[in-house]
A and B are shown apart, each in its own frame.
Chain A
Amino acid sequence: MENRRQFASLIGPPSLYLFLLFLLPVGLMFVYSFRAGITGPAHDVFTLDNYRSFLTNSHFHRLFWRSALISLTISVISSLLAYPLAYYLVFQAGRNRVTLMTLLIIPAWTSYLLRIFAWKLILGSSGLLNSLLLSLGVIEKASPMLIYSRSAVIVTLVYVWVPFVALPIFAALGRIDRNLLEAAADLGCKPWEAFLRVTLPLSLPGVAAGFFFAFIPTLGEFVTPLLVGGASGQMYGNLIQDQFMRALNWPMGSVMSLAMLVAVITLVFILTRLASVSDLGGVYE
């Protein structure tokens, strides 16, 4: 009895939290997705039209796959950049580890918008990068392509996510027993062989976790594409935002949101099956 009460008191608050902030909104979206509209008589009409038009609209699909591709690119680049960063912090930084780690995290304390606007200043047509290239004579005319493009979205989001991708890799590398690296050297490995055969495979769960840290949130990203993406940098998230904010077609927006939710869950499910869930935390049992 005592145990049950204790259990309830522990599980209660997070359950409530999940219900109010996750299940309830998703449930509402689910309900809206079968309506013809959200106001007036349309509100009471049950319809599958939203799903039908979602499935037949190739523009939606194209944008979805484009977003997936952009997210994938961002996650891959972030992982590639974050790995050496985390490796350096764990194995080379020594006493400066904590200081450098803090420096890495500090930008994340400033507003997300501020960081995006900073990139606008760098990439803009009279921005830092263009001015630099102009003064060096690399280009003759300020290139407008730097900003309002797909690459601008990728660059900005990579910048935003690298620290978060580095954290789980940092943790996974930190957990590797140094004795294992000595054992590898002892058994004849040159340093790079020890890295490929021991360090890298043992840190892969951290890399996978970091990859998802970047991939899942960027898939639904709409602020960055809106600010630096231009026409070619628009993502699926912008489409959803349009449905809700401009077209005021909440039912359609709900269908699109649910579609993305299902896609993400499926993807995570498949990938966690490939590498067992415990590996994601970098734990070897």
Chain B
Amino acid sequence: MTDYAVELCNVTKVFSSGRGAKSEDVYAVKEMNLGIPRGQFFTLLGPSGCGKTTTLRLIAGFETPSSGEIFIQGKPMSKIPPNVRPVNTVFQNYALFPHMNVASNVAFGLAIKRVPRDEQKRIVKEALELVQLADMGKRMPSQLSGGQQQRVALARALVNKPAVLLLDEPLGALDLKLRKAMQIELKHIQEQVGITFVYVTHDQEEALTMSDFIALMSDGLILQLGDPATLYKKPANKFVADFIGESNFIRGTVDSITRKGTKLRVLDELVTVDAMEVNLAKGQAATFTIRPEKMMLKTKQPVSTEALSGTVQEVIYIGTDTRYIVTLQSGESVVVRVQNGCSPDVEQFSKGDLVKVVWLPEDARLLTD
């Protein structure tokens, strides 16, 4: 017995587009190896076209892998059609049956399994209570709002007690406020029922909010796998740093490599960056990244910080924070986010001021492209 609810071993999915001589193979998923731990909220995150939905459909059985094998609860799935797999899906457009009322929609899976009527009723009632639609059983799907339809779709999937629940951007069609509320609610429901959730989204904030683990995908590959904090704090490469949250990228050349870290030359200034596992040689070009909220603006560089000089280009007040756009001597722009209020040592600057952009050495990360 493995600890994984779902395992993908060397899974590749190729789609052929076009006809005859013009046909072209598109790799939606490339040799993917992935273990999704039992009972976790797992998110496949990535821009559109990165292969996340295809991965989900492969697990559900709507697509068959071109090569490789998928295991669900340790059992190989290649010969198992979707209707027998221990998974259920919440579709992006909900896919509620328009000719059945809410209760019949939710009971659908149970009816197929010939669960006795009385028990069906009890389970449906429980499920509708779980998603806060207790009185809506008699309504038709068309009479519900998007958020309510989404809950029905969730209830319809959950009543079957799947080993894994697959969710394909289920909140995509909802407005921002409802979306935020549903994110928390989905997370709570997952904790309550203890089922493994595999969630597909392109929204990094949503992924950070809900997930225990995130796999960030691009071009059919997983670029980084980890918990939200790791992905945010220790992005594996530039794409991850750029996709998750906001990042400043600063280019320099390697000046020297010591045990304490790598010294980079940015125009005339020297900064020290954590070494990481990046293999660099002296004189090579390198990029490091710092989050805007990890930077500060000072007139003088405090001790044990790293700093670059620049000129304030723009000051944008956004309530809780002030965003400074600073042009470094090298000509590159960085965004610095300063929280308003609380801290007494925050200095105010205005456009045109000469400043030091400072940060703690451990907040900068050297990146590979």
Binding site for B on A (CB under 8 A): 177, 179-180, 182-190, 193, 197-198, 201-202, 284-285
Q: Name the B residues within 8 Å of A183 (CB-CB).
A: 89, 91, 95, 97
Contact yes or no, B60 A186, CB < 8 A: yes
Q: Pick the contact of B98: A187, A190, A197, A202 (CB < 8 A).
A: A202
Shortest CB-to-CB span from A211 to chain B, Å, is: 19
Total chain B interface residues with beta-carbon distance under 8 A: 24
A189 to B108, CA, bound (A): 9
Q: In chain B between 63 and 120, which residues have their CB closer than 8 angstroms to a CB of chain A?
A: 81-84, 87-89, 91, 93, 95, 97-99, 108-109, 112-113
Q: Name the A residues within 8 Å of B91 (CB-CB).
A: 179, 182-183
Contact yes or no, A189 B142, CB < 8 A: no
Q: Name the A residues within 8 Å of B62 (CB-CB).
A: 182, 185
Q: Name the B residues within 8 Å of A190 (CB-CB).
A: 83
A198 to B108, CA, bound (A): 11
Contact yes or no, A284 B97, CB < 8 A: no
Instruction: Kindly list 17 other residue pairs between chains A and B, CB separation below 8 angstroms, not including A188-B160, A198-B97.
Output: A177-B93, A179-B93, A180-B97, A182-B95, A183-B89, A185-B82, A186-B83, A186-B89, A186-B157, A187-B88, A187-B156, A187-B157, A188-B83, A188-B112, A189-B83, A190-B83, A285-B142
Chain B 42-71 against A: per-residue CB contact (8 Å), 1 yes, 0 no?
000000000000000000111000000000
8 tightest A-B contacts by CB?
A187-B109, A179-B95, A183-B95, A188-B112, A185-B82, A284-B98, A186-B89, A185-B83
Chain B 156-172 against A: per-residue CB contact (8 Å), 1 yes, 0 no?
11001000000000000
Q: Name the B residues within 8 Å of A186 (CB-CB).
A: 60, 82-83, 87-89, 157
Shortest CB-to-CB span from A107 to chain B, Å, is: 30
Q: In chain B between 18 and 54, which residues have their CB closer than 8 angstroms to a CB of chain A?
A: none
Binding site for A on B (CB under 8 A): 60-62, 81-84, 87-89, 91, 93, 95, 97-99, 108-109, 112-113, 142, 156-157, 160
Contact yes or no, A284 B160, CB < 8 A: no
A94 to B220, CA, bound (A): 27
A183 to B97, CA, bound (A): 9
Which residue of chain B has its CB nearest to the CB of A183? B95
Contact yes or no, B112 A193, CB < 8 A: yes
Interface contacts (Cβ under 8 Å), in number, total 60
> Would you give 17 A-B contacts (Cβ < 8 Å), ordered by A?
A177-B95, A179-B93, A180-B95, A180-B97, A182-B82, A183-B89, A183-B97, A185-B82, A185-B83, A187-B108, A187-B109, A187-B112, A187-B157, A188-B160, A190-B83, A198-B97, A201-B99
A36 to B60, CA, bound (A): 76
Known: A177-B95, A180-B95, A180-B97. A187 touches B142 (CB 8 A): no
Q: Name the A residues within 8 Å of B98 (CB-CB).
A: 180, 202, 284
Shortest CB-to-CB span from B55 to chain A, Å, is: 16
Which residue of chain B has its CB nearest to the CB of A95? B19
Contact yes or no, A187 B93, CB < 8 A: no
Known: A179-B93, A182-B62, A183-B89. A188 touches B109 (CB 8 A): yes
A188 to B110, CA, bound (A): 9
Which residue of chain B has its CB nearest to the CB of A202? B99
Q: Name the A residues within 8 Å of B82 (CB-CB).
A: 182, 185-186
Which residue of chain A has its CB nearest to the CB of B57? A182
Which residue of chain B has its CB nearest to the CB of A190? B83
Q: Name the A residues within 8 Å of B83 (CB-CB).
A: 185-190
Q: Name the A residues within 8 Å of B109 (CB-CB).
A: 187-188
Q: Name the B residues within 8 Å of A187 (CB-CB).
A: 83, 88, 108-109, 112, 156-157, 160
Shortest CB-to-CB span from B77 to chain A, Å, is: 14
Q: Name the B residues within 8 Å of A201 (CB-CB).
A: 99
Shortest CB-to-CB span from B140 to chain A, Å, is: 9
A188, A193, A285 pick with most chain B CB within 10 angstroms: A188
Shortest CB-to-CB span from A206 to chain B, Å, is: 13
Q: Name the A residues within 8 Å of B156 (CB-CB).
A: 187
Q: Pick the contact of B113: A180, A184, A188, A284 (CB < 8 A).
A: A188
Which residue of chain A has its CB nearest to the CB of B107? A187
A188 to B107, CA, bound (A): 12
A180 to B89, CA, bound (A): 11
A197 to B105, CA, bound (A): 11
B88, B98, B160 pick with most chain A CB within 10 angstroms: B98
A202 to B156, CA, bound (A): 19
Which residue of chain B has its CB nearest to the CB of A193? B112
Contact yes or no, B60 A189, CB < 8 A: no
Which residue of chain A has its CB nearest to the CB of B92? A179
